[in-house]
Amino acid sequence: MARWALLATLLAVVVIMLGAWTRLVHAGLGCPDWPGCYGFLTVPQDAASIAIAEARFPDSPVDVSKGWPEMIHRYAAGLLGLVVFGLAFYGFRHRHEGVPYKLPLALAAFILLQGAFGAWTVTLKLWPQVVAAHLLGGFTTLTLLTLLTLRLWGRRSERTPVAIPAVARLRPWLYGGIALVVMQIALGAWTAANYAAVACTDLPTCQGQWWPEMDFAHGFDITQSVGPNYLGGQLAAEGRVAIHVTHRIGAVVVLVYLAALFAALWRHGRQARLGGAITLAASALVGQILLGLANVLLSVPLAVAVAHNALGAGLLLTLVYLMWRLHGYHLGIQVRPTTIKNEATA
* pLDDT, tens digit, 9 for 90 and up, residues 238-282: 999 999 999 999 999 999 999 999 999 888 766 667 888 899 999
Q: Supply the range of the domain harboring residue 326.
A: 158-346
Judge whether residue 40 has pLDDT over 90. Answer: yes
Examine the domain organization and report whether 214 and 307 are in the same domain. Answer: yes
pLDDT at 162: 46
* Same-domain status, 225 and 78: no
Mean pLDDT lowest among 68-72, 212-216, 232-236: 232-236
Q: How far apart are alpha carbons 245 and 196 in whole angstroms? A: 10
Q: Is 43 left (phi over 0), alpha (psi -120 to 50) or beta?
A: beta
Q: What is the pLDDT of residue 332?
A: 44
For a pLDDT cut of 70, what percent of the chain falls above it? 88
Q: Are residues 336 and 298 in the same domain?
A: yes
How far apart CA 254 and CA 237 sit, in angstroms, is: 26
On the question of pLDDT at 156 being above 50, the answer is no
Could you tell me which of 209, 200, 296 has the C-alpha nearest to residue 240?
Answer: 200
Q: pLDDT tier at 164 (50, 70, 90 boundaries)?
A: low
What's the pTM? Answer: 0.86
pLDDT for res 232: 67
Chosen domain end from 140, 155, 170:
155
Q: What is the pLDDT of residues 61-107, one digit of tens each?
A: 999 999 999 999 999 999 999 999 999 999 999 999 888 899 999 99
Q: What is the pLDDT of residue 346?
A: 44
Judge if 138 and 223 occupy the same domain.
no
Whether 70 sits among the annotated catalytic residues: the reply is yes
- Say which of 70, 213, 238, 343 is annotated catalytic: 70
Please answer whether residues 28 and 131 qualify as being in contact, where contact means their C-beta atoms are separated by less than 8 angstroms: yes
Choosing from 155, 188, 213, the residue where a domain stops is 155
Statement to judge: residues 67 and 212 lie in one domain: no
End position of a domain, from candidates 155, 183, 200: 155
Q: Which residues make Cβ contacts (< 8 Å) with residue 147, sequence separation at least 6? A: 103, 320, 324
Cα–Cα nearest to 275, from 287, 284, 263:
263
Task: Give, in order, the Cα–Cα distances in Å from 168 to each of 109, 264, 268, 280.
Answer: 33, 12, 10, 19
Please tell me whether residues 20 and 134 are part of one structural domain.
yes
Residues 278 and 300 occupy one common structural domain: yes
Q: What is the spatial distance between Cα 318 and Cα 321, in angstroms, rounded to a whole number?
A: 5
Per-residue pLDDT, 252: 97
Query: How far, CA to CA in Å, does 157 sit from each of 27, 91, 146, 321, 340?
Result: 45, 19, 17, 16, 11
Band of residue 330 on the pLDDT scale cut at 50, 70, 90: very low
| 24 and 38 assigned to the same domain | yes
Number of domain units in the chain: 2
